[in-house]
Amino acid sequence: MPRQARLDAPGTLHHVILRGIERRALVADEEDRRQFVERLGRLARELKTAIYAWALLPTHAHLLLRSGPHSLPPFMRRFLTASALAYNRRPPIVLFRHGHVI
């Protein structure tokens, strides 16, 4: 069963959790971490989204933010798309898969 739609309107306070796919790292090294934080700050300023707190851990991140004039989905869509593109441009890192093997 899919989750219910998120209550969302401009100015709503949100706790957002970002997780790596298959328990993979969100950031590979300090340069990734720096770019992640810069990208988050740049987009927050551009979309007038207030970020009150954030925590970037190896496999996941927490954001406490208040959406600006736009709702949360446009902010997250732009942030996650830019993050995925930047991460995928890096040289491949060999990681072990978790979960079922077919």
- Helical H segments across 4-67, by residue range: 30-46
User: What is the set of domains in the chain, with CATH numbers?
Assistant: 13-87 (3.30.70.1290)
**CA 1 – CA 72 distance, rounded (Å):** 23
Q: CB atoms < 10 A from the CB of 65, how many? A: 21
CB 43 within 8 A of CB 63: no
pLDDT for position 97: 55
pTM more than 0.85? no
Counting every residue written for the chain, the total comes to: 102
pLDDT tens digits along 41-90: 999 999 999 999 999 998 899 999 998 888 888 899 999 999 888 877 87
pLDDT for position 42: 96
